[in-house]
Structure 1
């Protein structure tokens, strides 16, 4: 009881302190690339190249609290930090850029301690800091980007460390640190609103970490779950791969049709092909379909069956969306089915899947033979205020059905409330606020208490305040 009272007091304090509900912003430097204007004529010296560059970034305060079921521990944490990026002016289409960020644990519960019942760390609060070192409260800085880019009407190229966004690999800047990538990216604008992308990545800095890691070392930084026999997965630090090659095609030929297709070839691990299409079937009515197919490449990461990341399986998923979109309102029903020989597997350290039925705290990676149904209602109100409400129902294999359930997840009812506000007064320009609430409950009443911890029967509250410049 004292801990719950302390948690409530901390929540109240954080509300007063100013961390209340912030709009979730993608970091400014993660915006889609655009063809830069060639201002070579204005550059008279190397000094001008830097003087006429651009500074961008944000300051973010993030308060999170989770109320778990019964005697399971409740937790809270407040992170504060900033990211500052800079890119030079353009010289014959070339620009150099970099960005760094830092985070501090302003206050928190004992997130470095394991829960007495489940023997696990507080998952969500710890993700605000460093999941590899729960005791790390201040040494949380990272060189997030360091790159050289070239932009022209025909090609956009970038090499070094930078953010990347696609259906399975993306920045997902929704904590204090995004997913970041090292490699090379080429993009070719096409006629009729199209874009063709080629990329190769061999180093990664996963969200909620401070290190840059080779591709083979990065796989397994997050919880590896169990293998198909129920034994702890052994692929962490044992996966053999040089990196991932990405190819993507995005098309929007007219106002009624849009689509995209992505292929991710992970050296010696797997090949993953994803595609989706959205069409306007009637005024204010949209329908969409999506599908993914994956199979093993090489030996799946390791010749030893106990150390393999991607076993010899063929896996697929399919989804659909039906939406009604009158003025500034979105109502949709979204569905996802996962099937095949085993489980949908893709490194969580490289981003978060973006399917029609995706909701916060609701990954489907690691699942097979499962279904997810989500109803969404989004509204853009006057005064730069928006709201989103979602209700989800999942049907998952039993937690001990290890062949199709990697992380011991259980079927659940879930609900999400997401409120975002950006002040319109010029004096408050750059400020944004977000309130995110996520709840989950499972219909199965015979779940062991230790298995509920950050898995089901919890309430998660997030208050974020951000100043973008």
Structure 2
């Protein structure tokens, strides 16, 4: 095993360093750019020549080592995203962005594991989960929008990125989650922001197409229903879209709070809130909670085809953190209870709770607990690290009422290193080394059920540049 890990890591390092070029700006940073001075725009030509080009080039190597005779897999994806924004004219701007990905080399992602009879899950997510054999036709129009920005109003319509606790871009693979609709934000002074949005089309991460809201639900693994049969809701969920309302507050330096509501037409209503307070200098405490219930018929009047059954579900979490200069140490807890499973479309983003860690979704389970210790250190302006250790207590894989995806109780850990060279000639270049491990030593688990579920090691090395 150690020889295999060393071999794949060495291959990753040599490949990524050879391909890397320079300059990184994240999607979130681009959202914060100041609006250009409209006084300088004297013609239609100026509107475009004084606009902004932005984008990134990314090379992503991933390798997973599964337990025993289960197959190991690897993949190297390379791609780029290029976007353009016009200059601002009376607060209005037009923008678009497109991206493409290529499978530079990989194991056979179209071949199912002989024992589990499943495809390589994590490596496939670098490309197109709907077509494991697709290696080159992986382009997508990611953004196409018109926006307006002023001191009192921000609005955007079209296709664009959106960030919230349950719906977000999660731009850490080759393609983010993208959304089509309209968003309106009302800032008030420097103490808060009100967000209202409606989305009716989505392009999930690891896909290349755009889909209507109901079509997206079930593209990712749908799991099983309450009786252990394959879920019937894919291609049978009827909804026009989701309305999102969010209120983010920072009334003073010690307190931050936010509340969000996601109303999925004919499916469910989901309310989430959190608050973080500085108890004493360098010590913070936080609480969070979510409550969800069925709306309409849950997506379909037929019980065998329904996505969100007639249930009332809730979860609660907490966080205690110590944050001296450039250091974060925290203990995070999440409890999921209620009458069934915590359900929210995986195709629309990834839940961001206090206890969330990489590769650690809890969507699809109920009657569960998760305890996570996190440590983050910013060693310099160029280097930071994070280490997380997690323990989950989940229902048995065959307790279908509370376990949709056959998740297994486990110990998990994440090591995340990020480095940006300080030399001016390499300004903007960044590297990320991410290692995820998981084990379930106290459980007797059939080998086929371990595949990408537990007892595995996942290594990721990412070289990114953005301009």
* TM-score where L is the length of structure 2: 0.97
Partner of 2:13: 15
Offset of residue 37 of structure 1: 3.5
Instruction: Name the Cα RMSD after superposition.
Output: 1.8
Residue 252 of structure 2 aligns to a residue in which SS? Answer: coil
CA distance in 1, matches of 2:367, 2:24: 33
Aligned partner (choices 306, 310, 313) of residue 308 of structure 1: 306
Partner of 2:337: 339
Check conservation: 1:50, 1:89, Cα contact below 8 A: yes
Check conservation: 2:24, 2:465, Cα contact below 8 A: no
Offset of residue 191 of structure 1: 2.5
CA distance in 1, matches of 2:283, 2:218: 42
Check conservation: 2:140, 2:208, Cα contact below 8 A: yes
Offset of residue 200 of structure 1: 0.1
CA distance in 2, matches of 1:312, 1:190: 38
Offset of residue 206 of structure 1: 0.1
Offset of residue 9 of structure 1: 3.7
Residue 12 of structure 2 aligns to a residue in which SS? Answer: helix
Does 2:290 align with 1:292? yes
Aligned partner (choices 42, 51, 54) of residue 52 of structure 2: 54
Does 2:350 align with 1:352? yes
Residue 122 of structure 2 aligns to a residue in which SS? Answer: helix
Partner of 1:210: 208
Check conservation: 2:24, 2:56, Cα contact below 8 A: no
Q: Cα 1:280–1:5, aligned 2, differ >3 Å: closer, same or farther?
A: closer
Check conservation: 2:24, 2:429, Cα contact below 8 A: no
CA distance in 2, matches of 1:143, 1:88: 17
Deviations 1:225-271 (A, max 9, x none): 00011110000000000000000000111110001000000000000
Aligned partner (choices 109, 115, 120) of residue 111 of structure 1: 109
Does 2:189 align with 1:194? no
Partner of 1:443: 441
Offset of residue 293 of structure 1: 0.1
CA distance in 1, matches of 2:184, 2:118: 42
CA distance in 1, matches of 2:144, 2:209: 14
Residue 18 of structure 1 aligns to a residue in which SS? Answer: helix
CA distance in 2, matches of 1:402, 1:294: 19
Partner of 2:367: 369
CA distance in 2, matches of 1:278, 1:41: 42
Offset of residue 377 of structure 1: 0.7
Partner of 2:271: 273
Check conservation: 1:416, 1:439, Cα contact below 8 A: yes
Partner of 1:74: 72
Offset of residue 171 of structure 1: 0.2
Residue 125 of structure 1 aligns to a residue in which SS? Answer: helix
Does 2:184 align with 1:178? no
Does 2:315 align with 1:317? yes
5+ residue gaps, structure 1? none
Check conservation: 2:24, 2:466, Cα contact below 8 A: no
After superposing the two structures, state which structure 1 stretch, 10-19 or 386-395, moved more.
10-19
Q: Cα 1:19–1:347, aligned 2, differ >3 Å: closer, same or farther?
A: farther
Check conservation: 1:30, 1:164, Cα contact below 8 A: no
Partner of 1:219: 217
CA distance in 2, matches of 1:90, 1:165: 23
After superposing the two structures, state which structure 1 stretch, 244-253 or 27-36, moved more.
27-36
CA distance in 2, matches of 1:249, 1:194: 7
Residue 251 of structure 2 aligns to a residue in which SS? Answer: coil
Deviations 1:153-209 (A, max 9, x none): 110000000000000000000100000000000000012421000000000000000
Partner of 1:142: 140
Residue 16 of structure 1 aligns to a residue in which SS? Answer: helix
5+ residue gaps, structure 2? none
Partner of 1:262: 260
CA distance in 1, matches of 2:113, 2:6: 19
Alignment of 1:151-170 (within 5 A): 151-170=149-168
CA distance in 1, matches of 2:5, 2:130: 25
Matched pairs, number: 465
Check conservation: 2:24, 2:430, Cα contact below 8 A: no
Partner of 2:125: 127
CA distance in 1, matches of 2:178, 2:25: 12
Aligned partner (choices 16, 39, 42) of residue 40 of structure 2: 42
Check conservation: 1:21, 1:463, Cα contact below 8 A: no
Q: Cα 1:239–1:26, aligned 2, differ >3 Å: closer, same or farther?
A: farther
Deviations 1:358-401 (A, max 9, x none): 00000010010000000001100024100000000000000000
Offset of residue 6 of structure 1: 7.3
